[in-house]
Amino acid sequence: MIPTTSDPLAAAMIVADGIVVVDKPAGLTSHTVVARIRKLAGTRKVGHAGTLDPMATGVLVVGLNRATRLLGHLQLADKSYDATILLGASTSTDDREGEIVTTASAEALAEVTVEGIEAAVAGFRGEISQVPSKVSAIKVDGKRAYERVRAGEEVALKARSVTVSRYEVLDVRPGPAGIEVDISVDCSSGTYIRALARDLGTELGVGGHLTMLRRTRVGSFGMAAAHTLEELAESFSYLPIAEVAADTFPRYDADAEQAAAIRTGRPLPGLKLAAGQTAMFDPTGQFLALYEPHGPLAKPTAVFVS
């Protein structure tokens, strides 16, 4: 069950440990969204997983209180996006926020076909080597790449391996500014959709950049669970930490003696758990910790109660 309240002051009284799935609007940084959630939830302990650029919209997973620690244990590596690429021009940031650096001729664009786009897209499916966008948050000698670019520095980032499990072309629309291509992507964490836009344009020889980006899923959290900031201001709702843990990990219901040991993070001998992490609950249904097997013992990876 998702606790809700229409009174922002009352929110501080009911919000404990949980996850808020925010439908981030365009124009706001992820940091700004976190600040808004702090105010609405009445707590300083708020954090997020998977930063979205100001231009991007969609799913931003936010943790409240002790659930901020749970974020690092959740299975959030796989993500889904809907996006629009404009073929015919490349920009300094690989998206519409940057300055145009190259444009294609009308003749070059006329040679780009739907079949050609589909064939080029197919080459970016699977495990690929991708050079991140220069305005990414990757650190170069201790400083974010985008900070160096904005300071006028030249940035050369190394290619990295990412996985694009699904890359579909939804629509192709020729227009006066170029060719708009709507895409839908499932990919691993660390994949830059701006770089996919840039590389598709390069592959087709006409340049390309991202004009719209909407994240529709992070791990198991999709748009169906997401709320806009306006909706949260009217009626604040969140997923309790126990519900998230039970839905994400195998569950073990401890007896009173085991629960006492789990609360202090003691290993449990003779307890056979499945590989990976297991969510440990006490007899009342309170989520206590994450444990995993270590030979004949079950040991904690994170304890969430004292």
Active site residues: 53
Q: C-alpha 108: how far from its chain's center? A: 36
Buried residues in 148-160 as b, exposed as e (16+ CB within 10 A): bbeeeeebebeee
Identity of the amino acid at 163:
T
Taking the C-alpha atoms of residue 31 and residue 11, their distance in angstroms, rounded to an integer, is: 21
Max Cα-Cα span within the chain: 76
Taking the C-alpha atoms of residue 215 and residue 212, their distance in angstroms, rounded to an integer, is: 10
Nearest alpha carbon to residue 87 among 192, 214, 198, 169: 198
Taking the C-alpha atoms of residue 236 and residue 229, their distance in angstroms, rounded to an integer, is: 9
Instruction: With residue 292 as reference, give the H or E element that holds it.
Output: strand 287-294
Identity of the amino acid at 306:
S
